[in-house]
Chains A and B, each alone.
Chain A
Amino acid sequence: MRYIEPHAHMVSRVTDDYQDMVTSGCQAVCEPAFWAGFDRSSAEGFRDYFAQLTEHEPKRAAKFGLPHFCWLCINPKESEDVKLAEEVLALIPRFLERPSVLGIGEIGLNKNSRNELKVLERHVDLAARCDQLILVHTPHLEDKFKGTRLTLDALRGDRRIRPERCIIDHVEEHTVRMVLDAGFWAGMTLYPETKCTPARAIDILDRYGQERLWLNSACDWGVSVPLSVPRTALEMRRRGYSAERIDQIVYQNPRAFLSQCPKFHLAS
């Protein structure tokens, strides 16, 4: 089996996870910028983080023959501070030229505040001006439905944004339809307690088809499973999915979306 892990926070993971992922058939890993679990004290902390994502982490993955790509932004959990966000936004363009950067992400909302929305709109503007792909984080739990609606409104409000170049991540049963109906890609995140379980993700595939959908582990420093994508592929097999259909969902779909960035290429 082959698969792409399109959303994993490998800076938070141990090297054994890289070994396990490659052993399980992972062909590439993509790492959106995110919250470290604590607030950085200045934009310089983000400069170091972007260097880690674009220099150090690709080398760590390359030791196991795994291509590593990334996305850059200031995450929504730190977007309440608009001054800090503007300083970080000013840093991003010089990093966008680096060979493993795929676009702007994971941007979005957390508590659906006015400042978060303002910073989201500035990221969208940056992506439009620099012709970048966009990866959107949708909020947690009770905030997800409202945040997804506000995010879609913000994206649709900018005529430069093409939905087929944006993925709205962490969809669940109550948000997947609005994302797909608006023409965007949708990501399903496989978590043990929150977001989707493998069984629920497959239910969504059963109901909505497999077009413009991908699966990811979003593994980070919290409760998460780096091998959740291949484990879901195994669950798909138990549910009667053919090998071709599984390959479409866990490999070809993410490859199709990510290949819209010319820097995304795989050896095979």
Chain B
Amino acid sequence: MMTRQQLLDLYFLEARGKLIEVAAFLDRVERGEGEADFRLAELRRAVTILSRPEADKARQVLMALSDPTTEPIPTATTKGACGAWPSGGN
């Protein structure tokens, strides 16, 4: 396992770049006209996980964007996935 300093040296610029991409994406969406769907709210909620202290943030972000239900749906009406689940803040 590498040291914290070694990991920073290896990945800081990449993480910085990705963070700016997320910020620019949010700016872009906010400049756009019309209503946003639930994905934007879920993404904003997931972003707050980044400031938590636990070293488990990737899993928590994935869970925040996942369907938490346990029963199969009656019928698959589409094949695709959109990347977020409309939790309604719950």
Contacts A113-B73, A114-B74 given; does A240 touch B2 at CB 8 Å: yes
A234 within 8 A of B: no
Is chain A's binding surface mostly helix, strand, loop or mixed? Answer: helix
A77 within 8 A of B: yes
Q: Which residue of A lies closest to B77 (CB)?
A: A111
Is chain B's binding surface mostly helix, strand, loop or mixed? Answer: loop
Number of interface residues of B (CB under 8 A): 30
B51 within 8 A of A: no
- Among A139, A150, A173, A238, find the residue whose CB has the most chain B CB atoms closer than 10 A: A173
B82 touches A142 (CB 8 A): yes
B24 within 8 A of A: no
Interface residues of B in 38-81 (CB under 8 A from A): 58-59, 62-63, 65-70, 72-81
**CB neighbours of A240 from chain B (8 A):** 1-2, 6
A248 within 8 A of B: no
**CB neighbours of B11 from chain A (8 A):** 199
CB distance from B62 to the nearest CB of A (A): 4
Q: Which residue of A lies closest to B75 (CB)?
A: A113
Partner of B68, one of A80, A141, A146: A146
Q: Which residue of B lies closest to A118 (CB)?
A: B72
User: Please, what's the 1-or-0 string for A151-188, where 1 marks a CB less than 8 Å from any CB in chain B?
Assistant: 00000000000000000000011100000000000000
Number of interface residues of A (CB under 8 A): 31
**CB neighbours of B79 from chain A (8 A):** 35, 77, 110-111
- Among B14, B58, B72, find the residue whose CB has the most chain A CB atoms closer than 10 A: B72
A203 touches B58 (CB 8 A): yes
Interface residues of A in 113-135 (CB under 8 A from B): 113-117
**Complex: how many Å from CA A149 to CA B70?**
8
B73 touches A142 (CB 8 A): no
A150 touches B81 (CB 8 A): no
Partner of A113, one of B2, B14, B72: B72
Interface residues of A in 48-62 (CB under 8 A from B): none
A145 touches B73 (CB 8 A): no
8 A-B pairs closest in CB distance? A111-B76, A141-B81, A113-B76, A140-B81, A174-B62, A145-B66, A173-B59, A173-B58
Beyond A115-B76, A145-B66, A206-B1, 20 extra complex contacts between A and B, CB < 8 Å: A77-B79, A80-B76, A111-B78, A111-B79, A112-B72, A113-B75, A114-B75, A116-B76, A117-B72, A142-B84, A142-B85, A143-B67, A145-B68, A146-B68, A172-B58, A173-B59, A174-B59, A174-B62, A174-B66, A240-B6
Q: What are 8 A-B contacts with C-beta separation under 8 Å?
A: A141-B84, A142-B82, A174-B59, A199-B11, A200-B58, A203-B58, A238-B10, A240-B6
